[in-house]
Amino acid sequence: MLIVDDEPSLRRLATTMLEHLGFETVTCANAHEALRELEDNPHGFRLAVVDYMLPDMKGTLLAKELRILSPRLPLVLCSGQSDHVSDTNSFALGFQHYLKKPFTLVGMSAAISAALDEAAPPMTHTQTFTAVKG
């Protein structure tokens, strides 16, 4: 999981929560660090949690750049500024889900699970049969 937030305490909190949920994490303090990470390893992340307000660019612009590098990467927008972002407009901004700050383990888990479920390719008939049989 890629975590992009300029606040060190929130990066640590998100890392702790995601590791508790069984995920490995890489954290970045700004958009340019995140882009370098994804350029170096475009298929190395299952999901990115992106802050709306970063010091070098808005999270919405970062989302567009991340999509160029990894078009299928699920994105969760994280923000405490509810006047700019909401559950309803986060999808239009290029994100699968919105996670309001301050977030909880339950909220983080729900957003991550939903974003990963939405990004998963649909199972074929053969895969369904094999999963049930085996």
pLDDT in tens, the chain (134 residues): 999 999 999 999 999 999 999 999 999 999 999 999 999 998 999 999 999 999 999 999 999 999 999 999 999 999 887 666 656 667 667 788 889 889 999 999 999 999 999 875 544 444 444 444 34
The helix (H) or strand (E) run that includes residue 37 is helix 31-40
Architecture per CATH, domain 2-133, reads as 3-Layer(aba) Sandwich (3.40)
| Cross-sheet strand order for the sheet of 2-4 | 26-28, 2-4, 48-51, 75-79, 97-100
Does the pTM exceed 0.85? no
For residue 51, give the nearest of 1, 11, 110 by alpha carbon: 11
